[in-house]
Structure 1
Amino acid sequence: MDRTKAAIETLNDLILINNDRIIGYEHATMELKAEESELKHLFTNMIGESHQFKMELATEVAALGHDIETGTSTSGKLHRTWLNVKAAFSRHSKKSILEECEFGEDVAKDAYKTAIADESTPAYIKEMLLKQQAILQASHDKIKALRDNVAR
């Protein structure tokens, strides 16, 4: 596979990951109680992050002359991750919601790590991915800290 095609696949995979992240946080937001407005605000900000990431990734895919993924992942770990988030909501526990969100953040972080390590990813795209990865790491750390401070 040539480097351009590999880079496009990587970018489109990350677009799908961000689509999954958006849907996961939208579901999480709907399951929170009214008094958890700070957490709803945090999740809304994370949805905004993923929209921004998608726009940046899609710009690069378009610049490479290919179609941009618009759906969500339907196979593999990412899909199961956000399904686990939905399943956790049946417990309606703030801690369980945060646990599943953290797990989703872990999967997103791993996907970015893999994309950055991929030798076929051009340097200028790696630079963009490193910036997005840093934001994802900060979001993950916020979720983890909140989870660690919540009693079941």
Structure 2
Amino acid sequence: MPSQSPSRNFNGEHEIALTQVNFWSMAASFYRRRRFATVRTIVVPTNLIGMKMPETSHDISTLNSLIATTIDSVDGYTEAAKDSETGRFGSLFTSRASERREVASRLQQEVVRLGGNAQDDGTVLAGAHRMFLNLKASMTGHDDKAIVNEVEAGEDHIKAKFEDALEDRELSPGVRQLIETCYASVKAGHDEMRDIKHSMKR
């Protein structure tokens, strides 16, 4: 048989080499697509969907406790404004109730931001305190001094609650800063009622 010319041998080998290169190039490209597709696939267990991150639970619990106490304060000031005999402190109590309502709103917004359900009602003990306030006022003929004494006692309670929260080392920095800001308003209200109470003893 006639032998193949060198050019045909060379061309044939060249064609075979190109065919092999194309095959391995296609295989590598397919592998890369499969590999990267696998990396991008993230499977989230269904039991984790909708769950709050555990590190926020303590912040949420602390904030909701302060919200309930602050709502108690709002209700207490609202009742005190109604019971004030001459209106001497009526506008002050109403203004203070508005300030405490704003504090409660800021705390509630933070709870929602953290993914929790914000407290929207006061505590059970607050009901007893308001009943006592009303009873005391009716027994003394809506005496301003008696009302101020009861309001000041409530101020001692809310101030202590915020101070306890600020001593909590497990709170996140952001929540602690918010509580410190709200505490400034709470303390200002407490100090004012304390001074009024002391002035009425003279």
Alignment TM class, shorter chain as reference: 0.7 to 0.9
Cα deviation, residue 82, structure 1? 3.9
Task: Give the whole-Å Cα distance in 1 for the aligned partners of 2:73 and 2:143.
Answer: 20
**Structure 2 counterpart of 1:89:** 137
Mapped pair 1:20 → 2:68: no
Deviation (angstroms), 1:130: 1.3
CA contact (8 A) 1:3 1:120 kept: no
Map 1:69-80; keep pairs closer than 5 Å: 69-75=119-125, 80=128
Q: Is the 8 A contact 1:17 1:108 kept in 2?
A: yes
Q: What is the alpha-carbon root mean square deviation over aligned residues?
A: 1.9
Q: Between Structure 1 and Structure 2, whose CA radius of gyration is higher?
A: 2
- Aligned residue pairs total 147
Q: TM-score w.r.t. structure 1 length?
A: 0.87
- Judged with a 3 Å threshold, the aligned counterparts in structure 2 of structure 1 residues 151 and 119 are, in CA distance, closer, same or farther, namely closer
Contact persistence 2:79–2:130 (CA under 8 A): no
The CA deviation at 1:28 is 0.5
Task: Provide the TM-score with structure 2 as the length reference.
Answer: 0.67
Look up the match of 1:126.
176
- 2:165 aligned to which of 92, 104, 115: 115
Matches within 5 A, 1:40-59: 40-59=90-109
CA contact (8 A) 2:162 2:183 kept: yes
Q: 2:114 aligns with which of 48, 52, 64?
A: 64
Where relative contact order (Cα < 8 A, 6+ residues apart) is larger, the structure is 1
Shift of 1:13: 0.7
Give how far 1:88 is off: 2.5
Q: Contact between 1:21 and 1:82, CA under 8 Å: does it hold in 2?
A: no
Identity %: 25
Q: Could you list the runs of 5+ residues in structure 1 that have no partner in the other structure?
A: none
